Amino acid sequence: MALDIEKIIKEMTVEEKIQFVSGINGFETKPIPRLGVRGIIMSDGPHGLRKSKDSSETMDTTINSEISVCLPSGTSLASSWDNELIYKVSNAIAEECIHYGVDVILGPAINIQRNPLCGRHFEYVSEDPYISANYASIYVKGVQDLNVAACLKHFACNNNENTRLFGSSYVDERALHEIYLKPFIDTIKASNPYTMMCAYNKLNGTFCSENYELLTSILRKRAGFCGVIMSDWSATNLRYEGVKAGLDLEMPGSNKDNDEILRVALKEGKITEEDLNKRCKNILKLNNVIKEKERKKCDFEKHHLLAIEAAEKSAILLKNETNLLPINKDENYVILGEMFEKNRYQGLGSSFIFPYKREILKQCFDTEGINYKYFKGYELDSDKVDEKLENEALKEIKDTDKVFICVGLNDEFECEGLDRKTYKLPDNQISLVNKVLKVNKNVILLIFSGSPFELDAIEEIPSILLFNLGGEGVAKAATNIILGKVNPSGKLVTTWPKKEEDIPYIDEFKNDTNIRYKESIYVGYRYYDTFGVETNFNFGHGLSYSKFEYTNPSIIYKNGRIKCKLTVKNISNVDGYETIQVYYEKEESNVYRAKNSLIGFKKEFIKANSEKEFEIEIDKKELEIFDVNSKEMVIENGSYLIKICKRLGEIIAQNSIDVVEESQLNSDTKINQFTKDNILNISNAEFDELNGFKIEEKGKEITLFSPIKDYKNSHLIGRIFYKAAIKSQLKQIKKVQKIENKEIRDHLTKNVNFSLKSMLNFTLNAMNNFDCNQMPKHTAIGLVELANGHIFKGLKSILKKK
Ligand code: BGC
C-alpha cells in the first residue's frame, strides 16, 4: 500500500526526521516501523551486484558478498554501440536485484572519461557525452522497467581518484554543461532515474554534497529531477549545509555525529524543520515508487550466457592488417603473457563482485582443442622484466605460425581510489612485446585492460583485439572471436592517445588538490581531432571480419529533425554488424567549437552478401551548446555540416543544413575570450580570471581533509598514526592470506589490497563519516592537531568526553 506521505510527515517527530536523512548501515535506509515505513536496500553495481550477505556491515561488502553475474564494465559494454544489448544487460542486473531483495542498484556510473589515467576509467562509459547519455538512458530503463531504482553517479566532475575526497574540480560553464553535466541531465529527461549519487569532490570550490547550485538550481529546478539525491559513501562535510543544498540522504549510516550537528543546526536556526521535511518526503516518495516486491529467483545461467554475448558484441578488432585473425585451430601457436591464465575481466573497487562463473582464457583454448604452447613471459603483478621468463618464451617463437601476446593493466596499475601513475603499459610487458617482434612479426595482441595505454610497438603489430574489462564471459567471447565463430563489431568509445605528453594538461591532472579543467570542452576526441594530434586509435574505430560498401546517402533537415539515410552492403561471405556514426561540425560560429561532435548512431546486423537501409533520426537538441549569457542550452543560428561516418574522421557523406533559431549566441563575454589558439597554453591566473575563480592553494597544515599519505611527512605523532593505519591494513592482508580456499583467498586479497592502496587517499573526515564509533569527530580533530605538532590541543580533544 502506498504511504500517505503528508500524513507520515505530520506524524514523524523531529528526532525521527533527523535520523531518517541518513542510512541505518552500509546499504540500507532507516525504517520507521510504527509508521509502516520500511528500509530501502541498495547494492553496488554497476556491472553486477555486490550485495552483502549481511547488510548491517558498513563497508567491506566484498568480503561477504553474494554471488552475481559479472557483466562487462561501463566502457566495455558501451563499446558495443548496441542499445538492445545494454537494455538486456541492465534488465538482467535488475532481475538479480529482485532475486536478492535489492531496491536500488548503485549505477550506472557516468562521469566523463576526461583522462585515461583516472583509476576508475573502466567503470565510466565514455569520453563523449552523447554516448554516455544514450547508455545511461537505456540502462536506467532496463533497470526501472522491473521496478528497481537506478542511481546515476557521481554527480559531478569526479574525474580523478587521488583527490576525490578533498580536491576541487574547477570547470568553466561551457565545459560543465556541454560535457560533464549533459549525460546526467539528458538521462533524467529521457528516463527519469529514481535516485542520484552526488560526488565526493568539490565543484568550483564547494563540496558537491553541499552545492546548492548543483543539487537544487541545476538538478532539481533546471533538469526537473524529482527523486532522491544521496551522498557518495561518506561524502558529506557540514551536514546541515547539505540539507539546505538539497542532499536528501547521507550514506552510509553510521555517523551519529552528523545527527547531532543537525540537532544543533535546527536549534540555531541554520536549517528549519521544513528543510528536513523536504528531504524526508523525497525518501518516502522513493518507498512509494519502487514498492516492496516479492523476491523471485533469477536464472544465473541465462545471465552468464548473456555475459558472454555482451563481451562478444563489445570486443573491438583494432587491427587485422594481414588477416591473421580469425585463426585455424590446427596451425601452431605460441601464447605468451600471464593474462592468458589470469585474464582480467572486472575492475577493482566498489564495483568488484564475486562472479557466478568466471571463464578463463587458457581453459577456453583447451576446451576448443587449439594447438598451442604457453609461456608466461612476464609476471602480471609486477612491472619488472624477468629475463628468464622472457628467454623461455623467445626460444619457442621462431618457427611458430602465429604468436599471441596477452597484455593489459591489472589491478596493481588501475583501480578505484587512486589514479594511474603512468600511461605506459608495465615495463615487463613492453619488453616482452618488443623482443617478440624482433623474432616473429606474426603477432596477435590480446588486450584486457580498463583503460588505454602507451605502447610504441602498436604500429608494428599486425593484429590487435581489445576486450576492455569484458565481464566473467570475456574469455569465452575472446575464444569465439579468435576462432571466427563470432565476428567482432565493437567500436571505441574512448580515444587511444599515443603518448602521455599528448594528453591535454596532463600535469594539471596530477595536481594534488585543485584541478583546473583548462582544456574546457576539448575533452577526448574533441581535443585530438580539433588540434590535429595523432592518436593510436580514434574514437569510433573498430574493424570487422566482414567488408562493407556504402551507397545512396542522404541528409535532410525537417521540422527540427536531422534525417540521415544510407544503404550498407555486406560484400563479404561473413555475416556481421556495422555501426554508422553521425557527427556535426559548425564551421562559422561566434564561440569556440570542437571540430566534430557525435550526435547519433545506428548498429545493424547485415547478412553476408546482402544489404540494409540505415535510417538515423536526430533531434535538433543535439546541436545545443551552453550560452553563458542566458545560462541556457541553446542552438546557434546558421549552417551545420552533418557527416555520416564509419568512425570519427572517416566520412562516407556530408551535407550542410540551415538551422534558424530565435536565439543568437553572443561571444561578448569573458569566457568566450578562450579561443582555440590560447586554450592550449593558458596560465592558472588567466584561467581563474576568465572564470572568476578564487582558488586557494593547498596549505602545509594537516586538516580533516588531508589524505592519510600526507601524515607521512607530518609531526611525529602524525607519522606514528600513518604507520599504524598501514599496519592495520597489512594485518587484514595477513588474515585473508590464511583462508584455505584459493579462489576466495585471491578474490579477498585483491579487495584488501584495494583498501590498503585507496586508504592513502582517505581522510579523517571520511573515516568519521563512515563510522563515528571507530573514529569519533573529537578524536579525528585531536589527531589533526597532533599531526600539526599541537600536542596539548590534540590530547585535549582526543580525551574529550562526548
Ligand atoms: C563509491 C561509490 C559506491 C559507494 C558504495 C563509494 O566509494 O564511490 O560508487 O557506490 O562507495 O560502495
| Residue to substitute in 25, 27, 42, 44 for testing ligand 1 pocket (most ligand atoms within 8 angstroms of CB) | 44
pLDDT at site 52:
84
Distance 477 CA to ligand 1 centre (A): 29
What per-residue confidence (pLDDT) applies to 740? 87
CA of 547 to the centre of ligand 1 (A): 43
H-helix segments, 440-544? 474-482, 506-509, 525-530
Stated pTM of the model: 0.96
Q: What is the mean pLDDT of residues 386-411?
A: 95
Residues lining ligand 1, CB < 6 A?
Answer: 44, 106, 153, 232-233, 350
- Whether 59 shows a pLDDT value over 50: the answer reads no
Residue 697 DSSP class: P
In this prediction, residue 355 carries a pLDDT of: 95
Q: Among the atoms of ligand 1, which is closest to the Cα of residue 252? A: 5
Three-state secondary structure along 739-802?
Answer: CCCHHHHHHHHHHHHHHHHHHCCCEHHHHHHHCCCCCCHHHHHHHHHHHCCCHHHHHHHHHCCC
Give the amino acid at 425: L
Distance CA 392, CA 93 (A): 44
Q: Are 67 and 354 in contact (CB under 8 A)?
A: yes
Question: Would the pLDDT of 602 be above 50?
Answer: yes
127 three-state secondary structure: coil
Smallest CA separation from ligand 1 atom 12, residue: 350
- Distance, in Å, from the CA atom of 208 to the CA atom of 171, rounded to the nearest integer, reads 13
Which protein residue's CA is at the shortest distance from atom 9 of ligand 1? 350
Query: 197 CA distance to ligand 1 centroid (A)?
Result: 9
Quote the cell numbers at residue 149. Answer: 531504482
Pocket probe mutation, ligand 1, options 52, 106, 157, 229, max atoms within 8 Å of Cβ:
106
Between the CA of 62 and the centroid of ligand 1 the distance, in Å, is 12
Give the atom of ligand 1 at the shortest distance from the alpha carbon of 27: 5
* Per-residue model confidence (pLDDT) at position 670: 62
The H-or-E segment that residue 737 falls in is: helix 716-737
Nearest CA to ligand 1 atom 8: 232
Helix, strand or coil, per DSSP, at residue 231:
strand
d(CA 67, CA 109): 21
Mean pLDDT, residues 370-374: 95
Structure confidence at residue 384 (pLDDT) = 96
Work out the pLDDT band at 630, boundaries 50, 70, 90: confident
Q: How far apart are CA 204 and CA 516, in angstroms?
A: 9
Written as nine digits, the cell of 579 is: 555501426
Q: Which atom from ligand 1 is nearest to the alpha carbon of 151?
A: 10
The pLDDT, as a whole number, for residue 63 is: 60
pLDDT of 2 reads 92
pLDDT > 90? residue 119: yes
Query: 236: CA distance to ligand 1 center in Å?
Result: 13
**CA–CA distances in Å: residue 609 to residues 546, 564, 576:** 10, 23, 10
Nearest atom of ligand 1 to the alpha carbon of 44: 10
pLDDT digits (tens, 9 = 90+) for 150-175: 999 999 999 999 999 999 999 999 99
CA distances from 106 to 109, 121, 355 (A): 8, 17, 17
Q: Which atom of ligand 1 is nearest to the CA of 158?
A: 8
- Quick one: pLDDT band at residue 504, thresholds 50, 70, 90? very high
Specify the pLDDT at position 441.
Answer: 96
- Given a cut of 90, whether residue 402 has pLDDT beyond it is yes
Rounded-to-integer distance, Cα 284 and Cα 228, Å: 9
Tell me the average pLDDT across 621-645: 93
| CA–CA–CA angle 660, 666, 670 (5° rounding) | 155
Q: Which three cell numbers stand for residue 199?
A: 560526488
User: Residues 469-493: what's their mean pLDDT?
Assistant: 98
Residues 6 or more apart whose CB falls under 8 angstroms from that of 303 comprise 69, 71, 92, 95, 96, 356
Three cell numbers, residue 689: 580570471
- Tell me the CA–centroid distance for residue 249 and ligand 1, in Å: 14
Report the nearest-CA residue for atom 3 of ligand 1. 350
Alpha carbon nearest to ligand 1 atom 11, residue: 233
Q: What is the pLDDT of residue 511?
A: 83
The arithmetic mean of pLDDT across residues 292-304, rounded, is 94
Of 44, 128, 232, 529, the catalytic one is 232
Q: What is the pLDDT of residues 655-693, one digit of tens each?
A: 999 998 766 676 666 666 666 777 888 999 999 998 999
Distance 350 CA to ligand 1 centre (A): 5
What is the C-alpha separation between 594 and 674, in angstroms, rounded? 13
How far apart are the CA of 232 and the centre of ligand 1, in A? 6
| Distance separating alpha carbons of residues 318 and 434, to the nearest angstrom | 19
SS (H, E, C) 377-395: CCCCCCCCCCHHHHHHHHH
Task: Note whether 477 and 471 are within 8 A (CB).
Answer: no
Ligand 1 atom with the smallest distance to the CA of 45 is 10
Contact 466, 452 (CB under 8 A): no
Whole-angstrom distance, CA of residue 347 vs CA of residue 412: 11
- Measured in Å, residue 16 CA sits from the centre of ligand 1 at 26
For position 671, what pLDDT does the model report?
Answer: 62
Question: Residue 107 pLDDT more than 80?
Answer: yes
Closest Cα to atom 7, ligand 1: which residue? 233
Q: Is the pLDDT of residue 58 over 70?
A: no
The residue with greater pLDDT, 753 or 247, is 247
Ligand 1 atom closest to the Cα of residue 350 is 12
Sign of CA dihedral 257, 259, 261, 263: negative
Convert the pLDDT of each residue in 535-560 to its tens digit: 999 999 999 999 999 999 999 999 99
Q: Based on C-alpha coordinates, what's the Rg of the chain?
A: 26
Distances (CA, A) of 490 to 83, 128, 256, 486: 12, 16, 48, 12
Q: Is 328 helix (H, G, I), strand (E, B) or coil?
A: coil
Q: Which residues contact 175 (CB under 8 A, 6 or more apart)?
A: 517, 519, 520, 521, 523
Write out pLDDT tens, residues 256-288. Answer: 899 999 999 999 999 999 999 999 999 999 999
Q: Which residues contact 243 (CB under 8 A, 6 or more apart)?
A: 21, 262, 265, 271, 275, 276, 279
What gap in Å lies between CA 303 and CA 724, rounded to an integer? Answer: 43
* All residues at 6 or more sequence positions from 660 whose CB lies less than 8 Å from its CB, including other chains: 637
Mean confidence (pLDDT) of the chain: 94
H/E stretch holding 197 reads strand 195-198
Say what percent of the chain tops pLDDT 90. Answer: 85
For the segment 608-624, what is each residue's pLDDT rounded down to a tens digit? 999 999 999 999 999 99
Q: How many CB atoms lie within 10 A of CB 96?
A: 26
Q: Residue written as cell 623467445? A: 394
Distance 201 CA to ligand 1 centre (A): 13
Decide if 98 contacts 146 (C-beta within 8 A): yes
Which of the listed residues 42, 120, 152, 233 should we mutate to test ligand 1's pocket, taking the one with most ligand atoms within 8 A of CB?
233
Distance from C-alpha of 229 to C-alpha of 542, rounded to nearest angstrom: 38
Nearest-atom index, ligand 1, CA of 153: 9
Contacts of 129 (CB under 8 A, 6+ apart): 112, 178, 179, 180, 182, 183, 186
pLDDT at 748: 84
Residue with CA at minimum distance from ligand 1 atom 4: 233
How far does the centroid of ligand 1 lie from the alpha carbon of residue 587, in Å?
Answer: 42
Residue 1 CA, chain-centre distance (Å), reads 37
Could you tell me how many helices (H) and strands (E) the chain has, helices first?
24, 28
Of 242, 285, 291, 239, nearest to 264 by C-alpha is 239
Query: Model confidence over 335-346: pLDDT tens digits?
Result: 999 999 999 999
Amino acid at site 536: N
Using omega within 30 degrees of 0 as the cis cutoff, is the peptide bond preceding 252 cis?
yes
| Mutation pick for ligand 1 pocket among 52, 104, 232 (CB with most ligand atoms within 8 Å) | 232
Q: Quick check: 310 pLDDT over 90? A: yes
Grid cell for residue 795: 590530547
Average pLDDT over residues 366-376: 96
Confirm whether 232 is a catalytic residue. yes
- The predicted model gives 703-709 an average pLDDT of 95
Residue 64 pLDDT more than 70?
yes
User: Which atom of ligand 1 lies closest to the CA of 200?
Assistant: 8
- Is 80 exceeded by the pLDDT of residue 60? no
